Amino acid sequence: MQLFHKTLLDALRTEQKKTSEVSVLEAVQRILAENETERQQIKTTLQTESSSLSNAFQLDLLETDHIFHLSQIKKVCIDYRLRFLDSSLFANPIPEEAITQINALEKAHQTKLDGFTIAAPSKTFTLKQYDDPLLFAPIGNGYYYLIHQWGNDLKWYRKLSVLPIKNIVNFVIFCVLLSALFTLLTPETQLSKSIGEFAPVIIFLFLFKSVVVTIGYYFFMMGKNFNNVIWNREFKEN
């Protein structure tokens, strides 16, 4: 077996010598140049706004755990206060690993991908005036294919911290709970004694009004809005 292996290697070396070293280097250089051209084209596509809603994927080559419907993406974006926008608006560099993944997909599916979108926190986008990025490509009919995920911006407490501003219902519930807590912490005074058993209700209503006005004024006057409103908006909050 060892003799056979040595003879086989010698045969390969003999064939190798038939090709000049210059031509081999030229061939390798040409392959690398072609690969770099393909990668640059992908980068240009990622930085160019697109209205494409589908790509010519070969469905039997897709990994089912990478396929997500828009409704699923929307829910996660609302829960974690993320934006789901065109990749051309992404302000940070796209990692080379993502370019490699796209290049491999294009070759496997024999197509050119377009219409890339990214789900990420607002601060990672260059938004028009008025923390884990996920790179998607549209499949069609509201379905998207997850190509690459990078970074580690989403903390475990992010979903909980943005829960009060997920939507108007959560905001009201948060204000009710906060007002109830303040009511419990409010010491009993001579006035509350004179009001009688309705004192906690009156104090709660007064505090609820104050909490809604205070938080609402700060929230909306700062140009903020609820998660379910901004998840796919290209406009910047103040």
Q: Which of 8-12, 109-113, 234-238 has the highest mean pLDDT?
A: 109-113
Residue 4 pLDDT > 50 = no
- State the average pLDDT for the chain: 81
Show the tokens assigned to 209.
Answer: 């009004």
Model confidence at 1, in pLDDT bands (50, 70, 90)? very low
More confident residue, 38 or 186: 38
Instruction: Report the distance separating Cα 96 and Cα 103, nearest Å.
Output: 10
Amino acid at 81: R
Give pLDDT tens digits for 148-167. Answer: 888 766 677 788 888 888 99
Q: Which of 139, 159, 179 is the last residue before a domain boundary?
A: 159
Do 169 and 151 fall into the same domain? no
Residue-level pLDDT at 112: 93
Do 117 and 131 fall into the same domain? yes
238 within domain boundaries: no
Question: Quick count: other Cβ atoms within 10 Å of Cβ 78?
Answer: 20
More confident residue, 146 or 124: 146
Do 60 and 131 fall into the same domain? yes
Residue-level pLDDT at 69: 93
237 within domain boundaries: no
Do 140 and 28 fall into the same domain? yes
4 within domain boundaries: yes
Do 145 and 169 fall into the same domain? no
Mean pLDDT of 77-83: 89
Residue 34 pLDDT > 80 = no
Task: Quote the percentage of the chain above a pLDDT of 90.
Answer: 30
235 within domain boundaries: no
Reported pTM: 0.68
**Residue 112 · residue 90 · CB < 8 Å:** no
Residue 202 pLDDT > 50 = yes
Three-state helix/strand/coil letters over the chain? CHHHHHHHHHHHHHHHHCCCHHHHHHHHHHHHHHHHHHHHHHHHHHCCCCCCCCCCCCHHHCCHHHEEEHHHHHHHHHHHCCEEEEHHHECCCCCHHHHHHHHHHHHHHCCCCCCCEEEECHHHECCECCCCCEEEEEEECCEEEEEEECCCCCCCCHHHHCHHHCCHHHHHHHHHHHHHHHHHHCCCCHHHHHHHHHHHHHHHHHHHHHHHHHHHHHHHHCCCCCHHHHCCCCECCC
Mean pLDDT of 4-17: 65
Residue-level pLDDT at 133: 85
Q: Which of 111, 136, 159 is the last residue before a domain boundary?
A: 159
Q: Which of 136, 159, 182 is the last residue before a domain boundary?
A: 159
Residue 179 pLDDT > 60 = yes
148 within domain boundaries: yes
Do 111 and 174 fall into the same domain? no
Domain count, the chain: 2
Residue 176 pLDDT > 70 = yes
Model confidence at 130, in pLDDT bands (50, 70, 90)? very low
Give pLDDT tens digits for 58-72. Answer: 989 999 889 999 999
Range of the domain at 178: 162-228
